[in-house]
Amino acid sequence: MQTGYNPITPFNNPLIRFISDDKYRWIRHALFILMGLILAFKGDVGMSDPVQSAEVRKAVWLVDSVTFIFILGMLYLIMLVLIPRLLFRSRVFLFFLSIIIIIFLIYIVVYWLDLHYLRPVNPGNMQHIEFSVIHFIQIGAVCAVLLGAVIGLKVFKKWINDIRRMNELHEINLKTELEQLKSQVNPHFLFNTLNNLLVLTKTDQEKATQVLLGLSDLLRYQLYDSTREKIILTKDIAFIQNLLALEKIRKNDFTYTIHTNGNVDGQTLPPFLFIPFVENAIKHGASTVGHSYLTLNFNVADNQLHFSSENSKPAIKNATIGGIGLGNIKRRLELLYPGNHTLEIIDSADKYIVNLTIPL
């Protein structure tokens, strides 16, 4: 399907893919550690000089090894803990305070190792680390360049992935909008509904008026409200109510209930998060022979929305439950709430249950 979306060409660069794609993660880490080993021990290659005593060479290797392990640990602390939990959550002051503390700890470790291991074996022939502002600034400048490079790569990777996710979400939203536009005017659905309305105008004019208003609200929602980036939860629930009311006209032996708990008023969320589950329930429940039911629950608590759907299934299935609609909504949820939502689908012999939790 052509949606007018074109991927950004620079993102297809092999170097950018190597930096941002998770499938290269272990290769990146291996190269990072290897580069660190080369930089840490390149000055020790010449320590085989017979002028230097074995005791001095041993002390230098020990100091370099401990320094490398400690700095590597600090770098991974920054990459895995501080950047995701502080910098990416806009806690900038705490993040930079943590970086200053880490630089100070590196300086203390280097000074302590020099004082206890290098000076005793070679007090005069080496330039030793002093506990002074000048040496702190010198070591801090080197550490700041190293830490800044790591932070910059991490931020760059997140920026690339965010751009990719937004572009993919844009494409999914366009596809969802197109599919919804295709289903807005369903001739078969409208034909049955209008026929039922014609009967109701002769038997129950008040009910016919209510159904006509419901149909009008349903079409208005699909044409106008659903095009917005965010919609009000109560409008989404009202749309589902109208949809199920019209479905009940077509099938009398169909019962449905919608329960709401918590403060649902004023809550906003992206459109069409629940419609695929409801349409799936109608298709494979209400459209079958015999009695069928559908129960929906909307529960707002602790800044989260808990949605559940339970519908009956026919004894003899004539189609597979699921399909493209549910596949699209699963992917859309992954893009809208990456790692921050739960979706559970239980497909048993006689009923179909959906449990969804999303943040508000």
**Per-residue pLDDT tens for 80-92?**
888 888 888 888 8
The confidence score (pLDDT) of residue 166 equals 81
Q: 32: which residues sit within 8 A by CB, 6+ positions away? A: none
pLDDT for residue 185 is more than 50: no
* 47 contacts 60 by C-beta, under 8 angstroms: yes
Tokens of 31: 């190269």
The beta strands (E) that lie in 291-350 are given as 292-301, 304-312, 342-347
Tens digits of residue pLDDT in 217-265:
777 776 676 667 788 888 888 888 888 887 787 677 888 999 999 888 8
8 A C-beta contact, residue 272 and residue 265: no
* Residue 263 identity: N
Strand bridging mode 292-301 / 231-232 = unpaired
- The most confident of the ranges 53-57, 266-270, 298-302, 331-335 is 298-302
* Side chain identity at residue 86, one-letter code: L
Backbone torsion region of residue 155, taken as left when φ is above 0, otherwise alpha when ψ lies between -120 and 50, otherwise beta: alpha
The predicted pLDDT at position 191 comes to 66
Half-sphere exposure of 103 (CA within 13 A, CB side): 20
CA–CA distance, 357 with 360 (Å, rounded to integer) = 10
Give pTM, 2 decimals: 0.52
The mean pLDDT of 12-26, rounded to a whole number, is 69
Reported as a single tens digit per residue, the pLDDT across 288-322 is 567 788 999 999 988 899 999 998 887 655 444 44
Query: Residue 241 has which token pair?
Result: 């109510």
Tell me the C-alpha distance between 356 and 90, whole Å.
Answer: 28
Cα dihedral sign, 346-347-352-356: positive
Looking at the chain, the whole-number percentage of residues with pLDDT higher than 90 is 9
DSSP of 10-79: GGG-HHHHHHH-GGGHHHHHHHHHHHHHHHHHGGGGGGG-TTS-HHHHHHHHHHHHHHHHHHHHHHHHII
Triad 43, 49, 55: Cα angle to 5° = 85
